[in-house]
Each structure stands twice: as structure tokens, then as C-alpha cells.
């Protein structure tokens, strides 16, 4: 967890020395500390303080000036449309890695920037230490998530409950700065990326990483006792699997919301293939049509509207599917067999 008091002390001293409004944010533009106001205030500073995070549009504007890789302070011009006053961004770099940003509203009195360089270095080192601490905790996270009781017993992690596990599909094209996640969140890179978050933050964390990777995520049910986090992790991986194969639940699926899909997600590949064999004779168009029809509880008008086809076309396709599968879609057992077969085929990747 960030030493908030130390970061606040640094920001207060920088603001006092320079006579400028100062804020300190992590790499994801989440506010960590801010100093007293000096001179004019712009919309961006107000929003950052009130909402604890800059908007995506504002972040894009700032990053356009290369602040993520800049070795020193960067002057950023004003933009009236965004409500941005001119400011200086000093990237908080440690070991050639940017961990956050110091922002100074440029009131024309920033000639003494070098005088606060030691304070900037101190803030960068503090954020780097936080990142290393998270990495150390992340190494123990998989032990906490293990189904083996002896491995869980050896996990040197203590977190308050309730907690929820999150599984996010990694991406070969994109990277996410895991150290910038909210305090109290543990993360471990892998396939999938494993996270443990306070239950009330799980949705926000899953959305943040899913957007960063551009993939899918699953959230396990909350557990009051962190010792049961491994159960939530198992559910999170199953939910991720559903999110990846069922557009209805994409891109972020919560275990509690999956209904009967929870039972299917628990099945192994052999069982799923056995169920999927029931509908293997149906091609893509027929499978899509029958699945939509059964998803709508046999309501022909809604199904035809969703698929954008005439009802006579729908009836023709349903009749053809019945002949191919040797199933009667007006019979409850037959309908169930076909419906499960189609769902299982999706989870098999067919």
C-alpha cells in the first residue's frame, strides 16, 4: 500500500517551495496526493481532486506529449476545450521506469524546478518500492489460489475480507501496468492474469484490466474469509471462459450472473464434447438459428426479429434442424438436449 502520508508530505513541500499548485498521480492517472491551491485552478485539477482520476480524454491529451517516456519535466500547453491550463508534468521515474506523474500548474513561477529534484526522486522511489512490494505479494498469490491445502497454508499473504478473485485474459499486443491498480489489489501476470481484490472493487478492477488488454475477464463470487479465495479464483476462471464464448456475458462476466452456464463451465472437455456431439450435424447458420430460438423460449416472432429473417425462413430452418438431429423441438427433453449441445459446442470452441 502506498505510504500516503509520505507522498502528501512530498507534494506539500514541492508546492510550498515553488508556489505552484501540485498533484501527484500514479501511472494510471489515479490521484495519490495534492497540495494547497496556488493561483488559478482549471477543470482538470478540480475533476482529479473530486473524482480521484483524470478522464480518458484528458489522459490522451497529456500522453500525446510523450510524458510516459520523458526523462525530465515536460511543459504542456493549455487547451481551452478540455479546460486545461498550461502545466508542467514531471514523470516519476526510477530505474528507467515511469511509476507516476507530478503535475504543476504553470503560473509563470516555475523557474526553480531543479530545487525540488530530490523530492521528485524520493516520490519516484516510493512508488517503485510499492510496485516491488506488489510483485512480491503477487508471487504468493498463486499459492493462495491453489486447490492444494498444503500450498495455501504456505501462502504468506494476509488480506482483509471480503475479497473476490478476477481472471483476465492476457494479450500479446497490449500490456497493463499492474502496479497502478488500486491499493489492496494483488496481481500476478500469467495465463490468465490472476488478481485478488476487495469485493467492492472487483468490478472496477476487472473493467480496467479488460479494457487495457482488450480481451475478456471473469469475476468470482465474493468470499468473506480470504482463506476461501481459491474457490473464488476457480469461479473467476470459469466465468472468464463463459465471457470468451458467449457474447451475452462479454466482456466481463460475474459468476453470480451466469445461471445454468455455471454448470456447463464446470464440465471438462470430454463431457462437453459428449454434449456437443448432439448438435454436431448443424452448420453455423442452423446452429445459430436453433440456439436463438431456444434462448427465446421457442418464441418465433422474437427469434425471427433478432436474426432479421422471415418467420417462414425460421420454420424452414427449424424443420431442417429437427430432421438432421432426429429431435423434436416441441418436446421438452429433446429441446433440452439440443440446447445443452449448442451451449457445450460454444465452450468447446466450435
Using a pLDDT cut of 70, give the percent of the chain over it: 89
Model pLDDT, residue 206: 97
Model pLDDT, residue 1: 44
Task: State yes or no: pLDDT of 47 exceeds 80.
Answer: no
Task: State yes or no: pLDDT of 51 exceeds 60.
Answer: no
Q: Would you put residue 185 in left (φ > 0), alpha (ψ -120 to 50) or beta?
A: beta
pLDDT tens-digit series, residues 274-303:
999 999 999 999 999 999 999 999 999 999
Model pLDDT, residue 38: 54
- Over residues 230-259, mean pLDDT: 96
Instruction: For residue 148, count other CB atoms closer than 10 A to its CB.
Output: 10
By three-state DSSP, how is residue 120 classified?
Answer: helix
CA distances from 194 to 21, 27, 187 (A): 38, 20, 6
- Over residues 47-59, mean pLDDT: 61
- Over residues 95-122, mean pLDDT: 83
What cell numbers appear for 246 in the block? 458467449
Model pLDDT, residue 28: 78
H helix intervals, the chain:
4-18, 43-51, 56-63, 117-144, 149-153, 202-213, 229-245, 261-266, 269-276, 284-295, 300-307, 311-325, 332-347
Rounded to whole angstroms, the Cα distance separating 202 from 212 reads 15
Kindly indicate the confidence band of residue 228, based on its pLDDT and cuts at 50, 70 and 90: very high
What is the overall mean pLDDT for the chain?
87
User: For the chain, what percentages of helix, strand and coil (3-state, to nearest 5) are there?
Assistant: 50, 15, 35
Nearest one of 210, 169, 176 to 192, comparing CA atoms: 169
Model pLDDT, residue 134: 65
Kindly indicate the confidence band of residue 50, based on its pLDDT and cuts at 50, 70 and 90: very low
Rounded to whole angstroms, the Cα distance separating 10 from 195 reads 30
pLDDT tens-digit series, residues 247-258:
999 999 999 999
Q: Would you put residue 294 in left (φ > 0), alpha (ψ -120 to 50) or beta?
A: alpha
Using a pLDDT cut of 90, give the percent of the chain over it: 55
Amino acid at each position: 500500500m502506498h505510504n500516503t502520508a509520505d507522498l502528501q508530505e512530498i507534494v506539500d513541500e514541492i508546492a510550498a517551495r515553488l508556489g505552484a499548485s501540485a498533484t501527484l498521480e500514479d501511472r494510471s492517472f489515479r490521484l495519490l496526493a495534492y497540495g494547497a491551491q496556488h493561483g488559478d485552478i482549471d477543470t482538470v485539477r478540480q475533476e482529479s481532486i473530486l473524482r480521484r482520476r483524470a478522464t480518458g480524454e484528458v489522459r490522451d491529451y497529456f500522453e500525446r506529449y510523450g510524458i510516459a517516456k520523458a526523462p525530465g519535466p515536460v511543459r504542456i500547453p493549455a487547451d481551452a476545450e478540455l479546460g486545461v491550463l498550461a502545466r508542467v508534468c514531471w514523470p516519476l521515474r526510477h530505474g528507467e521506469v515511469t511509476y507516476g506523474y507530478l503535475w504543476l500548474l504553470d503560473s509563470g513561477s516555475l523557474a526553480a524546478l531543479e530545487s525540488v529534484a530530490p523530492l521528485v526522486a524520493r516520490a519516484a522511489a516510493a512508488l517503485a518500492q510499492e510496485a516491488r512490494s506488489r510483485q512480491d505479494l503477487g508471487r504468493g498469490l498463486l499459492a493462495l489460489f491453489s486447490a492444494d491445502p498444503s500450498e495455501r497454508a504456505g501462502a504468506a499473504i494476509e488480506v482483509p475480507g471480503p475479497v473476490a478473485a478476477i481472471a483476465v485474459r492476457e494479450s500479446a499486443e497490449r500490456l497493463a501496468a499492474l502496479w497502478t491498480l488500486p491499493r489492496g489489489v494483488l496481481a500476478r501476470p500469467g495465463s490468465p492474469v490472476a488478481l485478488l481484490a476487495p469485493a467492492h472493487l472487483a468490478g472496477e478492477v476487472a473493467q480496467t484490466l479488460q479494457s487495457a488488454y482488450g480481451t475478456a475477464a471473469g469475476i468470482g463470487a465474493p468470499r468473506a474469509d480470504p482463506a476461501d479465495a481459491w474457490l473464488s479464483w476457480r469461479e473467476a476462471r470459469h466465468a472468464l471462459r463463459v465471457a470468451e464464448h458467449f457474447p451475452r456475458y462479454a466482456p466481463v462476466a460475474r459468476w453470480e450472473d451466469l445461471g445454468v452456464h455455471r454448470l456447463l463451465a464446470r464440465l471438462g472437455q470430454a463431457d462437453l464434447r459428449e454434449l456437443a456431439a448432439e448438435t454436431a450435424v448443424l452448420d453455423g447458420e442452423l446452429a445459430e438459428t436453433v440456439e436463438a430460438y431456444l434462448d427465446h423460449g421457442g418464441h418465433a416472432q422474437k427469434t425471427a426479429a433478432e436474426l432479421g429473417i422471415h418467420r417462414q425462413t425460421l420454420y424452414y430452418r427449424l424443420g431442417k434442424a429437427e430432421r438432421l438431429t432426429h429431435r423434436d423441438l416441441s418436446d421438452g427433453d429433446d429441446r433440452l438436449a439440443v440446447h445443452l449441445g449448442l451451449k457445450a459446442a460454444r465452450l468447446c470452441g466450435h
